């Protein structure tokens, strides 16, 4: 199996949830690497996610938009970047329903700009895609990498467009690319708009937990650590031009997920409220991850352990999420949930 040389990485979106976990993991496991985090610092991008690392000489931050071609190009040239790993994106499905255009700007055009810079400078690009590009999965099928893409939300459609642009550049320009499609990640530093941190922090505060519809939608809740090791495996040993699914291959319903959150925090089921569903809500995601396993990767966490451990992290790190929840998040929360929750009290 080829081992690819990876020395100077440009990590776009490195101040977000998965990006910051990946930067910490990478610098621990690859002490001789250098990392440049390139991040626009949107509401979801938080410098404090890497607070313990900013004094490390191997890490630098460039604040910028991935759509700024001159800045991306200049950064790659000045920093002798040999690999771009693209985590940067607008990532929340509900936000994409409320305001979809920025999803096209960042996820589609932004990825396209990175591809252009990679092509100009002859740099390898690894793109972080998602299981949502497959759309919702029927019966007992598990998505394999060769399946057709069938996205159903503005977020998923923008990620599918980016995924296909990356593949088109490999075919048309012979650009060295790889893609990973991740399942629903949980773990430290996830912005509390997403279900597991939202439900955990609401439960800790004794607030209602809004379950969309019947709560029987199924997700593969994978620990972010396993996503990081999966990406690392592809960066080092993945076949150039190939796509790899990264998840546990096991799903649970959202009601099962909330059971684990509540048990982990010692909170009551009385907090649960069934509210108006998300429009076009995908019923089930499920991926076959055998292709990644052929590279020697194995997930460390069971999805139940991953959810329980994530909930506990929020209980132990109130200082991280309390300032977030009292800021602009409040406005979003009102817009998304006030009407949904009105009149649902038990
Ligand atoms: P996040 O929302 O926590 O972080 C996104 C980061 O991108 C933030 O730091 C933000 O500031 C930055 N960003 C946004 N727009 C930018 C722009 N125009 N230019 C530069 N930086 C910008 O997201 P996440 O959950 O960490 O997801 C990271 C990647 O993984 C995304 O591409 C997402 O689609 C993908 N993914 C996420 C999951 C999941 O469960 N969270 C699963 C599979 C794939
Ligand atoms: O599957 C990978 C995707 O996982 C990533 O590509 C996305 O970036 C990430 O946000 C996530 O998308 P989901 O829409 O699956 O995750 P979210 O945490 O928003 O929701 C998880 C499930 O919980 C989903 O079925 C919707 C449901 N849900 C969510 C929220 C926020 C609720 O029932 N109530 C809620 O308030």
Q: Over the stretch 186-220, which tens digit does the pLDDT of each residue have?
A: 999 999 999 999 999 999 999 999 999 999 999 99
What is the atom index within ligand 2 of the atom nearest the CA of 159?
A: 6
What's the residue count for the chain?
Answer: 346
C-alpha distances (whole Å) from 13 to each of 38, 146, 191, 232, 312 are 6, 27, 13, 16, 25
Backbone angles phi, psi at 134, to 5 degrees: -80, -10
Give percent of the chain above pLDDT 90. 95
pLDDT in tens, 156-191: 999 999 999 999 999 999 999 999 999 999 999 999
Q: Is residue 313 part of a domain?
A: no
In the predicted model, what is the mean pLDDT of the chain? 97
Pocket residues: Cβ below 6 A from ligand 2:
91-94, 130-132, 183-184, 194-195, 198, 210-212, 217, 219, 254, 278, 285
Q: Is residue 113 part of a domain?
A: yes
**pLDDT grade for 345, boundaries at 50, 70 and 90:** low
The rounded distance, in Å, linking the Cα atoms of 155 and 151 is: 8
The reported pLDDT for the residue numbered 344 is 83
Choosing from 195, 256, 276 the residue with most ligand 2 atoms within 8 A of its CB, the one to mutate for a pocket test is 195
Instruction: Tell me the chain's radius of gyration from C-alpha atoms.
Output: 19
Mean pLDDT confidence for 306-318: 98
- β partners of residue 10: 36, 84
The rounded distance, in Å, linking the Cα atoms of 129 and 101 is: 19
Q: Smallest Cα–Cα separation from 11: which of 79, 96, 97?
A: 79
Q: Is residue 85 within 8 Å of residue 76, measured between CB atoms?
A: no
pLDDT in tens, 208-261: 999 999 999 999 999 999 999 999 999 999 999 999 999 999 999 999 999 999
Choosing from 17, 23, 62, 64 the residue with most ligand 1 atoms within 8 A of its CB, the one to mutate for a pocket test is 17
**pLDDT grade for 346, boundaries at 50, 70 and 90:** low
Q: Is residue 283 within 8 Å of residue 218, measured between CB atoms?
A: yes
SS3 state of residue 33: coil
**pLDDT grade for 98, boundaries at 50, 70 and 90:** very high
Report the separation in Å between the CA atom of 185 and the middle of ligand 2, taken as the mean of its atom positions: 10
**pLDDT grade for 127, boundaries at 50, 70 and 90:** very high
Report the separation in Å between the CA atom of 117 and the middle of ligand 2, taken as the mean of its atom positions: 32
SS3 state of residue 15: coil
Query: 234: domain range?
Result: 8-184+222-246
Backbone angles phi, psi at 25, to 5 degrees: -60, -45
Mean pLDDT confidence for 129-146: 96
The reported pLDDT for the residue numbered 343 is 76
Say yes or no to pLDDT of 110 above 90.
yes
Q: Is residue 199 part of a domain?
A: no
Q: Smallest Cα–Cα separation from 196: which of 132, 134, 267, 254?
A: 254
Q: Is residue 288 part of a domain?
A: no
Say yes or no to pLDDT of 1 above 70.
no
Q: Smallest Cα–Cα separation from 287: which of 85, 134, 94?
A: 134
Ligand nearest to the CA of 48: 1
Q: Is residue 311 part of a domain?
A: no
- H/E stretch holding 167 reads helix 154-173
Backbone angles phi, psi at 272, to 5 degrees: -70, 135
The rounded distance, in Å, linking the Cα atoms of 73 and 22 is: 23
pTM score: 0.98
CATH code for the domain in which residue 99 is found? 3.40.50.720
Q: Is residue 298 part of a domain?
A: no
Q: Whose CA is nearest to atom 29 of ligand 2?
A: 195
Q: Is residue 314 part of a domain?
A: no
pLDDT in tens, 31-76: 999 999 999 999 999 999 999 999 999 999 999 999 999 999 999 9
The rounded distance, in Å, linking the Cα atoms of 136 and 134 is: 7
Mean pLDDT confidence for 19-40: 98
Q: Is residue 166 part of a domain?
A: yes
How many structural domains is the chain composed of? 1
Say yes or no to pLDDT of 5 above 90.
no
The reported pLDDT for the residue numbered 279 is 98
Q: What number of other Cβ atoms are within 10 A of residue 69's Cβ?
A: 15
């Amino acid at each position: 199996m080829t081992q690819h040389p990876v020395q100077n990485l440009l990590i776009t979106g490195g101040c977000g949830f998965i990006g910051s976990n990946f930067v910490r993991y990478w610098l621990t496991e690859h002490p001789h690497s250098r990392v440049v985090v390139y991040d626009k610092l949107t509401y979801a991008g938080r410098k404090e996610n890497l607070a313990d690392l900013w004094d490390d000489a191997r890490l630098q931050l460039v604040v910028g938009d991935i759509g700024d071609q001159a800045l991306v190009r200049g950064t790659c040239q000045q920093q002798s970047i040999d690999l771009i790993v693209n985590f940067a994106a607008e990532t929340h499905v509900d936000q994409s329903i409320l305001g979809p255009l920025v999803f096209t700007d960042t996820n589609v055009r932004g990825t396209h700009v990175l591809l252009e810079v990679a092509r100009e400078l002859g740099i390898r690009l690894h793109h972080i895609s998602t299981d949502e590009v497959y759309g919702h999965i029927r019966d007992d099928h598990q998505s394999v990498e060769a399946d057709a893409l069938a996205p159903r939300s503005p977020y998923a459609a923008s990620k599918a467009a980016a995924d296909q642009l990356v593949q088109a550049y490999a075919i048309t320009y012979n650009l060295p690319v790889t893609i990973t499609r991740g399942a629903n990640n949980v773990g430290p530093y996830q912005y509390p708009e997403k279900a597991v941190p939202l439900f955990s922090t609401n439960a800790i505060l004794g607030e209602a937990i809004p379950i969309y519809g019947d709560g029987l939608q199924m997700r593969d809740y994978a620990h972010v650590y396993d996503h990081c090791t999966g990406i690392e495996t592809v960066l080092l040993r993945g076949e150039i031009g190939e796509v790899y699914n990264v998840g546990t291959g096991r799903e649970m319903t959202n009601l099962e997920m909330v059971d684990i959150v509540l048990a982990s925090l010692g909170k009551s089921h009385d907090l649960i409220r069934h509210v108006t569903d998300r429009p076009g809500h995908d019923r089930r995601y499920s991926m076959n991850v055998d292709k990644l396993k052929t590279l020697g990767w194995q997930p460390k966490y069971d999805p139940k352990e991953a959810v329980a451990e994530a909930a506990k992290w929020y209980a132990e790190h109130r200082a991280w999420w309390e300032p977030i929840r009292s800021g602009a998040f409040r406005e979003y929360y009102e817009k998304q949930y006030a009407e949904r929750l009105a009149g649902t009290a038990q």
